[in-house]
Amino acid sequence: MKFTDGYWQIRKGMTPHYAAQVHDLETDPASVTVYAPTKKLQGRGDTLNLPLITVRFSSPMENVIRVKIVHHKGARPAKPEFTLYEQPSNVKIINEENAATLTSGDLSVRIHKGEDWLVEFIGGNKVLTSSGWRSIGFVDTPDGRFIHEQLSLAVGENVYGLGERFTSFIKNGQIVDIWNEDGGTSSEQAYKNIPFYLTNRGYGVFVNQPDKVSFEVASEKVERVQFSIPGESLEYFIIYGPTPKEILDRYTALTGRPALPPTWSFGLWLSTSFTTNYDEATVTGFIDEMARRDIPLHVFHFDCFWMKEFNWTDLQWDSRYFPDPDGMLTRLKSRGLRICIWINPYIAQRSILFDEAAQNGYLLRKPNGDVWQTDLWQAGMGIVDFTNPAACAWFAEKLRALLHMGVDTFKTDFGERIPTEVIYHDGSDPFKMHNYYTHLYNKTVFDLLVEERGEGDVLVFARSATAGGGQFPVHWGGDCTATFESMAESLRGGLSLGISGFGFWSHDIGGFEQTASADVYKRWAAFGLLSSHSRLHGSSSYRVPWNYDEEAVQVLSKFSKLKCSLMPYLFRAAMQAHQHGTPMLRAMMMEFLDDPACTALDLQYMLGDALLVAPVFTHDGNVSYYVPAGHWTNLLNGEQVEGPGWRRENHDFLSLPLLARPNTVIPIGAHNDKPDYDYSQNITLHVFELEENQQVNVEIPNLNGQVETVFEVSRAKNIIHIQRHGPAKDWAVSVMGVKTNASAQTSELKIELK
């Protein structure tokens, strides 16, 4: 929200009160508390009729500093609040004549005691950002009171993140409201609004408020990021890196790590699409044809119309089209398929569940006690109140019956259109619940799956999220259109979401709205199968490849098989997301922070730490992309690519730039027909441009996410030396296209370079 008119003046009807200077400062072993009047004091009389702003500095974990700003503290705490996993550490506090400093790990906050307000955050012996003149304050407006902070931006500093945003990748110059909305991928609205950003200067900022946080990112004041909320208090955290990976490691430790999805979920998903006509025969026909055309398929998804129209959500199969759902699911699962079905948290008035939910108080209510209802989406629908433990248990039991029938997971759609003029069971603030609702919704479903399946076999396919929602993967990009432009904006959104603490992300291959041309579909298929998770889904038409052209069948087959063969590498990248919050799809700046050419790149990405992917977004097959320094190798054809520099290439539909990073070893599995197999059996280690005196450790996980086998690969002069540690299984090494086989008894191998 903007409060000023230009740099100097205040907007009409607004009265600001800024922290002017440090008047008093108190310390205890864990914190520093500052009392700041809103004008400079010349005498005792100035202390009368004057607001006092209290700012407390502390540390919830090492290298993280908490800042709590309060004007009036008498308001009763209102639910909800983000769950934080604090790890209190020892802090060092120095209170000197001119300044006080609190240090946590390598991060410090220095509060100056001079005539003007100045707080500096210092990491690695440099000032990362600061709160200065007219930064902290509250503003009385015609719409009520707002409180804000402004943090400085340095020359060349870029802001990234703030959730899955489809606008420009660098957020400088943008106005971002953290408010979940169902706006599609072609608007400034977002399904997943996360009040967290990081910059290329070595730190991140998490605003610990479920409210509607308004960010002015180098917009109202181009030298600062301002964030504001309605009310009397504001809390945020400065998180030190200095690298983006280290920032995300600490941020996700604080707000929750992504769970590790099961290996089967990384295969190809096929959906019925949304408004198409289908029954068991249709579904079986698709599956038969995918097998006949040699396209590995691993998950089948039933979208909305598995239930009868006007009855969503009743969680009952439409008997007109699915008269024998138990038998159908048994037949599908006998073919090795997993099953996903669509749900949402809205209960239509015609649903058999509506009366039961209404009578038991399981639906959101108006202030007068009536059930809140709308005709937007489903006629007369109500919304499940997930602040009511009984409602959560009731909803979970309805889903449990479907799990026992043979369903494996749920697409947890919607969760953004949550009204604010309602009453919650636990008294939660409906304004704060608007974004947080999706967290409770996805958590209810996720917890049920953990209870039924165990932690290693669980995921949802979710659209909406808030801070901490990355704990419940996977999330997909929402309603995109079937164009290259929408394909590109989807990628921007996914990269921004990854920077916001979400490790796993997917999108609708071919676009959701409209029907793609054959070339868009084929290019999107390659991109989709080089993403974390891969789903064919649309709105009004089936997304099976033969509906486009025969070459689309070849493209889908090739890249689905490629993804399966890459699973030893991809699942290790998934484990990194689970353990450290590093996303599988990584913006180039995350891996190459010191390369200024990577600063703004959003049409290419790193898949894990060793594969560069540049999707093709053109009808003619031309693609321009940037290659960082080193000797890179195209994984598909072995072509050597020299960096740093820009490349312009033309690719047919069976190809795209997919480059292996120098000084890396990529393990390729023995199976290309499924994602869940023994990754260490008959594995081939592909060594790429290993320099002398370099060593790479290749960790091979099992299906439970545990590393069982490690290969140490090193080079001394013209000798590549490989040492295996772990279970005895056949393996091989490929260097510059020359393959050397090793038996299960071989624990050490030396290869001479020619």
Give the span between the Cα atoms of 512 and 534, in whole angstroms. Answer: 14
Q: Determine the pLDDT at residue 89.
A: 86
Contact (CB, 8 A) for 257 and 581: yes
Helices of type H across 500-566: 518-528, 550-565
What integer is the mean pLDDT of 327-345?
Answer: 98
What integer is the mean pLDDT of 395-402?
Answer: 98
Give the span between the Cα atoms of 621 and 623, in whole angstroms. Answer: 6
Q: Determine the pLDDT at residue 371.
A: 98
Give the span between the Cα atoms of 343 and 410, in whole angstroms. Answer: 7
* Catalytic entry in 149, 182, 249, 416: 416
The mean predicted confidence, pLDDT, of the chain is 97
Region at 265 (left for phi over 0; alpha for psi -120 to 50; beta for the rest): alpha
**97 annotated active-site:** no
* Catalytic entry in 479, 489, 519, 591: 479
Give the span between the Cα atoms of 158 and 146, in whole angstroms. Answer: 26
pLDDT band at 56 (very low <50, low <70, confident <90, very high): very high
pLDDT tens-digit map of 529-585: 999 999 999 999 999 999 999 999 999 999 999 999 999 999 999 999 999 999 999
Q: Which of 748, 609, 730, 733 is nearest to 680 (CA)?
A: 730
User: Is a pLDDT exceeding 90 seen at residue 14?
Assistant: yes
User: Is a pLDDT exceeding 90 seen at residue 736?
Assistant: no
* Catalytic entry in 220, 385, 408, 413: 413
Classified as helix, coil or strand, 115 is coil
Q: Determine the pLDDT at residue 754.
A: 79
**416 annotated active-site:** yes
Count of C-beta atoms within a 10 Å radius of residue 727: 13
User: Is a pLDDT exceeding 90 seen at residue 88?
Assistant: no
Classify residue 348 by burial, with Cβ atoms within 10 Å: 0-12, 13-18, 19+. Answer: buried
pLDDT tens-digit map of 235-260: 999 999 999 999 999 999 999 999 99
Q: CA 72: distance to chain centroid?
A: 35
What integer is the mean pLDDT of 504-523?
Answer: 98
Percent of the chain whose pLDDT exceeds 90: 98
Q: Determine the pLDDT at residue 679.
A: 97
**140 annotated active-site:** no
Contact (CB, 8 A) for 217 and 169: no
User: Is a pLDDT exceeding 90 seen at residue 131?
Assistant: yes
pLDDT band at 508 (very low <50, low <70, confident <90, very high): very high
Cβ-based neighbours of 110, under 8 Å, separated by 6 or more: 99, 100, 101, 119, 120, 121, 122
For 722, phi then psi, to 5°, come to -125, 125
Q: Determine the pLDDT at residue 357.
A: 98
| DSSP codes of every residue in 11-64 | PTT-EEEE-----EEEEETTEEEEEEESS--SSGGGGTT--EEEEEEEEEETTE
Q: To 5 degrees, how large is the angle CA 421–CA 424–CA 427? A: 110
- Identify the structural domains of the chain with CATH numbers, from first to last: 4-255 (2.60.40.1760), 265-344+388-421+433-565 (3.20.20.80), 586-660 (2.60.40.1180), 664-752 (2.60.40.1180)
pLDDT tens-digit map of 585-629: 999 999 999 999 999 999 999 999 999 999 999 999 999 999 999
What integer is the mean pLDDT of 65-71?
Answer: 98
Q: Determine the pLDDT at residue 192.
A: 98
Q: Determine the pLDDT at residue 240.
A: 98
pLDDT tens-digit map of 678-705: 999 999 999 999 999 999 999 999 999 9
Q: Measured between alpha carbons, how far is residue 301 from residues 268, 305, 563, 704 in Å? A: 11, 11, 19, 24
The structure's pTM equals 0.97
